[in-house]
Structure 1
Amino acid sequence: MSRSRELLSHLIAFDTTSRESNLDLIRFVHDYLAEAGVSCELIYNETRSKANLFATLGPDDRPGIVLSGHTDVVPVDGQPWTVEPFALTERDGRLYGRGSADMKGFIACVLALVPQLIEAPLRMPVHIALSYDEEVGCLGVHSLLAELQKRTHTPLLCIIGEPTELKPVLGHKGKLAMRCDVHGAACHSAYAPQGVNAIEYATQLISELCRIGADLRTPEQQDARFTPPFSTVQTGVILGGQALNIVPADCRFDFEVRALPTHDPREVAAQLARFAEHAVLPRMQAVNASSSIRFTELSSYPALATDARSEAAQLISQLCGSNDFSTVAFGTEGGLFDAIGIATVVCGPGSMEQGHKPDEFVSIEQLAACDAMLERLVLHLRL
């Protein structure tokens, strides 16, 4: 575990907040693997300011197992940290630092495993996959997955190391994030009926979203494996208006749908678009013909629903010593791996109860348990 702790200290020292580049961390991992004789591929974004990393250990002529993690972390701005966020602090059996739980702790354990993977004669390859921009909508991993689809041997299964306290997770909800721009017509507030108040019409659309969300809570649409057991809809951002004596011409709001695996989140967006087209926009354009309502997708990722009888589920059960499969409320890149035919499970050290919060930590006990789990994977894969 001391090696994992040492590597975690290095990883946390890199400020990989999603708005920043992750290249310093990626170069560190690249050099670490190169020193061990492992080559890796970097897949850059368009501006070459960020990159995914993909490496293979063991035979490359057959399907293998992916150990996957995202390198970006959420901001620390405005949070009351009592320790330096980007430096590892050990206290009372806990390792503090941004990303310690979500999810650099898992990445550190994977990197610490590299010497064992090199020494062991493996019957199938182990792949290390590190992505960027997971925290802002699972954006970066798409280019990595596109590269994997071009290969002769697509990986057999994937373990996403998000913090689950090392409990095997087979499912999570999908997510769709949308933006709605409402354009009306400004005028002096003394003559309000002559204008088209974009804020007021936006609130009608938001009220319709609330109604749609309420409909999704009916018992027949619920799944008790999830918390909450229904698909959810919520508006998280709204912007509009310049001054109280001006009828606002523009209003923008962002909303998200977190949908059960059996539900299509885009149906919520389609319902709202139909309501906008038939119930709201005609009244706006009756006052000013240039009025408009525009919807834009911000990000999305699919749900994950891995079969408990699958090879992936059975493997993680062996590694964890538990077949008490569960689901999580947060999303992962798992649904995207699964969508291209790579059966996926979620299992990693730490708890999301600590993720995204000030004084984020992973316990030393959890990190050691993750090391042990990955060592069992090596034994499982030995010839």
Structure 2
Amino acid sequence: MPTSRDLLADLIAFDTTSRESNLALIDFVRAYLAGLGVDSELLFNEERTKANLYARLGPDGPGGVMLSGHSDVVPVDGQPWSVPPFRMTERDGRLYGRGTADMKGFIASVLASLPRFLEQPLRLPLHIAISYDEEVGCLGVRSLVAALEGRPDRPAICLIGEPTEMRPVLGHKGKLAMRCEVHGAACHSAYAPQGVNAIEYAARLIGRLGEIGTRLAAPERHDERFDPPYSTVQTGTISGGRALNIVPAECRFDFEVRALPSDDPQRVAEELRDYAEHELLPKMRAVREDTGIRFTPLSAYPGLLTPADSPAAELLGLLCGSQDFSTVAYGTEGGLFDQAGIATVVCGPGSMDQGHKPDEFVTLEQLGRCDAMLGRLVEWMKG
């Protein structure tokens, strides 16, 4: 049977950048599973250009462990790659290519491990999940989560193989990204009071976001398990204005909240909307009635914090040979699975220090450690 290295080379050859279809990769995985006698089902997007894949093996009934990963990768546009990004290159114990670390290395290891699971009389079912559009806001997996949530035989534990350098991870922050559009009223700058300066009102909103961020960073709100140990707010993009002698009628900015699992990022958005509605809009409409402020959600996913004394954490500690649990700064699909009643933990080969960068790589040593972890899972699950 092919090794995890062999399968990683196959997976890297598929350009599954989020703007592209992932169906060629999904078809490859589905054919590989069928060759092992494992049926799978697909959950398509509305356009049927992308799909989640779900499969299970072992005994019928609820419970068991799900191994989960996303198929999409970030773009390579404009990055100075020294190797072909969609053809795996091996050099000095490293495997280069887009997605090697984030996170096709884990998927390859899962596929390579399946014959060992199939050789055993498993006492619990093993579930396999491969999603799409994780990199653009954990969008694709939501239909899979909804399908599993309504099934009596859903898994009890999910292991997501995001790159953690094979360290056991129990949590990450949640995220809310939003766009704010301020519609003011233009006029000649010589008569500025007759207009409504959209940039200035946007600046007031951004200033309020800064005040909220300062409150969230107060020492009493810290959780030292995270880095930074508090929820953060930041404005990432802003655009507006046409010329210096025109009072700008339009301004748009995007902001995000990276929230501790104990904080609700929607409260930040609600406070900003309240400030806009009760303090800024009356002043704007006193000058021009047709002015306004609009908020549009861009993406969101919940945080994750699985208790260290839970069965899921106990299993992860056994598989990793360590209970030195930690958190990661980036997000995963784990919070969505957890909200559906599937306790979720994170561990996978590679480092996010290499993810999303040119010449992304995973080491053969990391891939081997992942293979070994899944071998321990086989031993734990067999009857």
The CA deviation string for residues 265-323 of structure 1, in whole angstroms up to 9 with x for no partner, is 11111111111112211111111111101111111111101011111100010110000
Cα deviation digits, residues 91-124 of structure 1 (max 9, x gap): 1111111111010000000011111121111111
Q: Which residue of 2 aligns with 1:244?
A: 244
**Aligned-pair distance for 1:2?**
6.6
| Number of the residue aligned with 2:361 | 361
Look up the match of 1:196: 196
Query: Cα offset for 1:213?
Result: 0.5
Give the superposition deviation at 1:256: 0.6
Q: Deviations over 1:166-193 (max 9, x none)?
A: 1110011111111111111122333322
Output the CA distance in 2 between the equivalents of 1:22 and 1:189.
51
Corresponding residue for residue 296 of structure 2 = 296
> How far, CA to CA, are the matches of 1:229 and 1:2 in structure 2?
43
Structure 1 residue ranges without an equivalent (≥5): none
Shift of 1:52: 0.4
Offset from partner CA, 1:227-269 (integer Å, 9 cap, x none): 0011000111212223333322111111110111111111111
C-alpha separation in 1, matches of 2:55 and 2:197: 54
Task: Work out the CA distance in 2 between the residues paired with 1:150 and 1:369.
Answer: 34
Question: What SS does structure 1 have at the residue aligned with 2:48?
Answer: coil
User: Can you list the C-alpha shifts for 1:188-211, whole angstroms capped at 9, x where unaligned?
Assistant: 333322221211211111111111
Matched, 1:336 2:336: yes
Quote the residue 1:82 is aligned against: 82
Aligned to 2:282: 282
Distance in 2, Cα, partners of 1:112 & 1:246: 63
| Matching residue's letter, 1:276 | A
Aligned to 1:152: 152
Equivalent positions of 1:138-149 (< 5 A) are 138-149=138-149
Number of equivalenced pairs: 383
The answer on whether the counterparts of 2:304 and 2:338 sit within 8 Å (CA) in structure 1 is: yes
Query: TM-score, normalising length from structure 2?
Result: 0.98
How far apart, in 2, do the equivalents of 1:194 and 1:311 lie?
65
SS at match of 1:181: strand
Identity of aligned residues (%): 69
Q: Residue 119 of structure 1 corresponds to which residue in structure 2? A: 119
9-18 vs 235-244, which moves further: 235-244
User: Aligned partners of 1:229, 1:56: CA distance in 2, in Å?
Assistant: 38
Alignment of 1:249-264 (within 5 A): 249-264=249-264
Deviations 1:210-235 (A, max 9, x none): 11101111100001110001100011
The whole-number CA distance in structure 2 between the counterparts of 1:378 and 1:58 is 11
Q: 1:356 Cα shift?
A: 1.0
Who is 1:378 aligned against?
378
Q: Is 2:91 aligned against 1:91? A: yes
Which residue is equivalent to 1:308? Answer: 308
Q: Is the 8 A contact 2:354 2:360 kept in 1?
A: yes
SS in 2 for 1:191: helix
| Counterpart residue number, 1:129 | 129
Q: What is the letter of the counterpart of residue 126 of structure 1?
A: L
Give the match for residue 232 of structure 1: 232
2:2–2:112 CA contact under 8 A, matched in 1? no
Q: Give per-residue Cα distances to partners, 1:48-100, cap 9 Å, x unaligned.
A: 11110000011122322100001111111111111111110111111111111
TM-score, length-normalised on structure 1?
A: 0.98
> Any gaps of 5 or more consecutive residues in structure 2?
none
Q: CA deviation at 1:15?
A: 0.9
Distance in 1 of aligned mates of 2:149 and 2:206 = 39
Separation in structure 2 between the aligned mates of residue 62 and residue 284 of structure 1, nearest angstrom:
57
The residue type paired with residue 329 of structure 2 is A
